[in-house]
């Protein structure tokens, strides 16, 4: 599953259009019309026709999964969808489950929990504050008083209106938590948060130029922008500057972009020898961290816990759990996320 983590156009082009097609069947092998089929994290999606068939085309390979979703049925996730051109998808009915109503005694109202959820899920930026979750009643919460952790979930995809970027977003929440230092749900006190899920984007009608300007602002200095620049070895004072600690670092010495396979590139990262040689039980097997400066004013931190990761031509990585960001980049949440196939 492609996961979104707070914690995600190059100059390379693929001349061949890639097509993924297939048919969707139910548990009785009957065709299923009206099923949502999309590439996770993109605006590329269709509904199956009256014969249950679908076809998606992209200009170049995107490092994502194929999602097949229909109300009342288990969601099907196809990894590496471009490895096969035609699929026969079998969907199974979702088991009926009555959710237990938990009466908490932690003393926090649902409104306070929602406030914390919005801040750490949508983000406290112009884009994040402009977003509205249209089905907040589907969200349920649990607060663990032993760990001071708020978790959230939803059995139905969250429908998010983002008038700042001009998208209607459908977000299937897989995991969400916020950790607090003590018994509280004040969003500004959180020591860490995490969200994961699958998304599909739909264009809003409205002022296209305004949407384009806002999208560009969200893109510049983002994780997507960073990975695209890394892939193209594009660094400098008007873009990203790399630092090892407080010292300027030469990116060529730390990152090696290898060959590509169907639009996906392998990137090798030089390790932090001092940390890797630490003789402690808790020392990571691989660890390399850098400070980033974008446009001479926005400071972030990136930590790699893998020596090799893969990036597609659009700047999407398959190592969301092993590459984390702090600082300005970590403030960009779902409200500032752009489709994986976004281009300026």
**What's the pLDDT band for 13 if we cut at 50, 70, 90?**
very low
- Which stretch of 33-47, 102-116, 208-222, 303-317 has the lowest confidence by average pLDDT? 102-116
- Does one domain contain both 120 and 185? yes
Q: How many Å apart are CA 83 and CA 275, to the nearest integer?
A: 38
Question: Which tokens is 330 given?
Answer: 């970590």
User: pLDDT-derived band of residue 224, with 50, 70 and 90 as boundaries?
Assistant: very high
Residues 240 and 308 in one domain: yes
Q: What's the pLDDT score for residue 119?
A: 97
- Residue 193 and residue 236 in one domain: no
Helix, strand or coil, per DSSP, at residue 247 = strand
The answer to whether residues 131 and 57 belong to one domain is no
Distance of CA 6 to the CA centre of its chain: 7
Of 90, 121, 146, which marks where a domain is finished? 90
pLDDT reported for residue 99: 56
pLDDT at 259: 81
Secondary structure E strands in 207-307: 240-244, 247-248, 255-261, 264-269, 288-294, 298-304
Phi, psi angles (nearest 5°) of residue 23 = -135, 145
208 assigned to some structural domain: no
What pLDDT shows up at residue 104? 58
Q: Is-contact 303 287, C-beta < 8 A?
A: yes
Q: Is residue 310 part of a domain?
A: yes
Average pLDDT of 218-240? 93
Kindly state whether residue 320 falls inside one of the protein's structural domains. yes
Query: Which of 303-309's residues contact partners 24+ apart within 8 Å by CB, and which partners?
Result: 304/269, 306/269, 307/268, 307/269, 307/271, 308/266, 308/267, 308/268, 308/269, 309/266, 309/267, 309/269
User: Which residue in 338, 58, 295, 5 sits closest to 200, CA to CA?
Assistant: 338
Least confident of 115-129, 191-205, 265-279, 306-320: 265-279
List b or e across 275-294, with b for residues whose CB sees 16 or more CB atoms inside 10 angstroms: eeeeeeeeebebbbebbbbb
Longest CA span, the chain: 63
Q: Which of 89-93, 272-276, 326-330 has the lowest mean pLDDT?
A: 272-276
What pLDDT does residue 97 have?
55
Mean pLDDT of the chain: 87
pLDDT at 94 (0 to 100) = 83
Q: For 47, list phi and psi in degrees, rounded to 5.
A: -105, 140
From 55, 90, 125, the end of a domain falls on 90
Angle 304-309-314 (CA atoms, 0-180°, nearest 5)?
110
pLDDT of 285 over the 80 cut: no
Looking at the structure, tell me whether residues 235 and 328 fall in a common domain. Answer: yes
Same domain, 84 and 120: no
Whether residues 187 and 246 share a domain: the answer is: no
Mean local confidence (pLDDT), 116-145: 96
114 within domain boundaries = yes
CATH of the domain at 22: 2.60.40.1120
Write out pLDDT tens, residues 247-261.
Answer: 999 999 999 999 877
Bridge partners of residue 202, in order along the sequence: 168
CB 253 within 8 A of CB 271: no
Residue 6 included in any domain: no
* Pairing label, strands 45-47, 66-69: unpaired
Contact 308, 261 (CB under 8 A): no
Q: How far out from the chain centre does Cα 91 lie? A: 25
Residues 124 and 47 in one domain: no
Does residue 167 register a pLDDT over 50?
A: yes
Beta-bridge partner residues of 179: 149, 192
Q: Per residue in 15-39, pLDDT tens?
A: 458 899 999 999 999 999 999 999 9
Indicate the DSSP class of residue 176: E
Domain count, the chain: 3
Q: Is residue 98 part of a domain?
A: no
How many CB atoms sit inside 10 A of residue 295's CB?
12
**Would 344 be classed as within a structural domain?**
no
* pLDDT in the model for residue 284: 57
Please, where are the H alpha helices in 149-284?
208-219, 223-231, 251-254, 273-276
Report strand pairing: 264-269 vs 167-179: unpaired
The mean pLDDT of 61-69, rounded to a whole number, is 90
Residue 173 and residue 241 in one domain: no
**Angle (CA) 181 187 193, round 5°:** 70
Q: Does residue 214 fall inside a structural domain? A: no
Q: For the chain, what percent of residues have pLDDT higher than 90?
A: 68
The C-alpha atoms of residue 67 and residue 82 are separated, in whole angstroms, by 13
Q: Higher-confidence residue: 157 or 106?
A: 157
**Which pLDDT value is given to residue 96?**
58
85 and 122 both lie in a single domain: no
Contacting residues for 284 by C-beta, under 8 A, at least 6 apart = 275, 276, 305
CB of 138 closer than 8 Å to CB of 152: no
Query: What residues make up the domain containing 240?
Result: 230-335
On whether both 331 and 236 belong to a single domain, the answer is yes
């Amino acid at each position: 599953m492609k996961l979104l983590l707070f914690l995600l156009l190059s100059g390379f082009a693929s001349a061949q259009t890639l097509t993924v097609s297939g048919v969707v069947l139910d548990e009785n092998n009957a065709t299923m019309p009206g099923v949502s089929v999309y590439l996770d994290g993109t605006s590329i999606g269709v509904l199956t026709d009256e014969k249950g068939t679908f076809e998606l085309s992209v200009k170049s390979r995107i490092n994502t999964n194929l999602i097949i979703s229909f109300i009342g049925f288990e969601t099907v996730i196809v990894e590496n969808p471009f490895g096969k051109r035609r699929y026969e998808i079998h969907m199974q009915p979702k088991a009926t489950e009555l959710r237990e109503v938990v009466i908490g005694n932690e003393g926090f109202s649902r409104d306070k929990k929602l406030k914390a959820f919005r801040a750490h899920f949508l983000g406290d930026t112009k884009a994040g504050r402009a977003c509205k979750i249209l089905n907040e009643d589907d969200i349920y919460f649990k607060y663990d008083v032993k760990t001071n952790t708020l978790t959230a979930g939803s059995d139905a995809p969250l429908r998010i209106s983002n008038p700042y970027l001009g998208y209607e977003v459908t977000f299937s929440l897989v995991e969400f938590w916020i950790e607090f230092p003590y018994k509280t749900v004040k969003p500004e006190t959180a020591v860490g948060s995490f969200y994961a899920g699958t998304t599909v984007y739909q264009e809003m009608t409205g002022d296209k130029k305004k949407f384009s300007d806002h999208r560009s602002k969200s893109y510049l200095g983002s994780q997507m922008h960073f990975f695209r620049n890394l892939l193209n070895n594009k660094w400098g004072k008007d873009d990203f500057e790399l630092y090892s600690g407080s010292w300027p670092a030469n990116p060529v010495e730390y990152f090696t972009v290898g060959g590509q396979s169907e639009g996906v590139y392998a990137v090798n990262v030089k390790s932090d020898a001092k940390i890797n040689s630490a003789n402690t039980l808790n020392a990571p097997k691989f660890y390399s961290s850098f400070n980033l400066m974008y446009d001479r004013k926005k400071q972030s931190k990136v930590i790699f816990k893998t020596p090799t990761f893969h990036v597609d031509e659009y700047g999407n990585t398959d190592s969301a759990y092993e590459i984390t960001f702090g600082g300005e980049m970590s403030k960009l949440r779902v409200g500032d996320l752009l489709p994986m196939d976004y281009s300026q």
